[in-house]
Homo-oligomer: A and B are copies of this chain.
């Protein structure tokens, strides 16, 4: 049966624990115990088995292990938005990279899927769970009263919610403190003397947008300065319109904060074309830092939430949750629903700093399009 003459790279038969067992003069069960570091074999035998396994270049079969009940070492993430959005969004790539980094190190892999609707997403979770395809999932793009939360709680699939706080039910979560970020921005602008702030807000379906709304209004009120929130919905087009509307007001704001880096750039463009200088006439800041905000002229003050670090923390936390869910089989210990916050940091750049250290290139013609505007 055993063709000991395999050794062909890619050709030969798969080597199984049975092969090892035969060579070691024990049963497959003993090999299983040995390679999994479980008690039941003597140290001498274990070493002998391990040596043979290495020599035979044995690799465990994930399928067989999964079938026998072992974890599949995979976590899933579903994205309910068009692929186009993912491609352009700076946050996505960095977040995934952060996830990957931690997961890879622990020999986990990340499985992703793009779907159309939230229902599809829940359905995917359900199927992944039923098929035992993943050990856990990470939930992104949290919304208010998100239907995925109860669905996942019901399923009992280990899950980590990215976003919050306070809206992730009994599930553990990792989030950036958007209220804190908002205060950083408002306080910074207030210190510079601004007394009329505006915020161009993204899609209000998302929870973090709502949290910003609230914190923005509150903080401005505390400081006794004017706060205008202008809804811009999705995309850059909305940001352009919102910016134009803001500047058309009788009492136009002296500083504008945008909910994303793309929106910021769109808004800044409108401002420049209307002849407003940044930061002399209007200060500009972004809730999201990226290559876009860094390389823009002038560079834009932004909240640095380090998407990559965000991903790392999320992955680490999820793995802990999975680990815990595995061990607490009989003992009904606490469900480990802990939340972790990531501290937002304010990165001040020339777009809010009139006398900035780096003298931004004099506004001799930021819009070189050749079209003399207004």
Q: Are A131 and B59 in contact (CB under 8 A)?
A: yes
For window 316-365 of A, CB contacts with B under 8 Å fall at: 350, 354-357, 361, 365
Q: Are B100 and A83 in contact (CB under 8 A)?
A: yes
Q: Are B109 and A114 in contact (CB under 8 A)?
A: no
Q: Are B368 and A9 in contact (CB under 8 A)?
A: no
Say yes or no: is A227 at the interface (Cβ < 8 Å to chain B).
Answer: no
- Give the residues in chain B near A206, CB-CB below 8 Å: none
Instruction: Name which of A47-55, A91-99, A247-255 contacts chain B.
Output: A91-99
Instruction: Name which of A20-28, A165-173, A210-218, A265-273 contacts chain B.
Output: A265-273
Which of B63, B273, B308 is the one whose CB lies under 8 Å from A87?
Answer: B308
Instruction: Name which of A37-45, A187-195, A197-205, A291-299 contacts chain B.
Output: A291-299
Say yes or no: is A224 at the interface (Cβ < 8 Å to chain B).
Answer: no
Q: How far is the CB of A32 from chain B (nearest CB, A)?
A: 16
Asked if A155 meets B9 with Cβ closer than 8 Å, knowing A111-B111, A114-B97, A130-B57, the reply is yes
Per-residue CB contact flags for chain A residues 77-112 toward chain B (1 = under 8 Å, else 0) read: 001000110111110111111101100100001111
Interface centre among A87, A297, A368, A369 (most CB of B within 10 A): A87
Q: Are B84 and A131 in contact (CB under 8 A)?
A: no
- Give the residues in chain B near A97, CB-CB below 8 Å: 83-84, 86-87, 92, 114
Q: Are A62 and B131 in contact (CB under 8 A)?
A: yes
Asked if A98 meets B87 with Cβ closer than 8 Å, knowing A92-B93, A295-B269, A370-B355, the reply is yes
Interface centre among A72, A132, A277, A295 (most CB of B within 10 A): A295
Q: Which residue of B lies closest to A308 (CB)?
A: B87
- Give the residues in chain B near A88, CB-CB below 8 Å: 93-94, 291
Per-residue CB contact flags for chain A residues 137-161 toward chain B (1 = under 8 Å, else 0) read: 0000000000000000011110000
In Å, the complex CA distance between A221 and B104 comes to 48
In Å, the complex CA distance between A273 and B362 comes to 9
Further pairs besides A83-B101, A92-B93: 10, Cβ < 8 Å:
A10-B154, A59-B127, A62-B66, A62-B133, A87-B307, A96-B112, A100-B112, A104-B114, A262-B295, A272-B361
Across the A-B interface, give the 3 residue pairs with the lowest CB-CB distance, nearest first. Answer: A87-B94, A93-B93, A63-B66
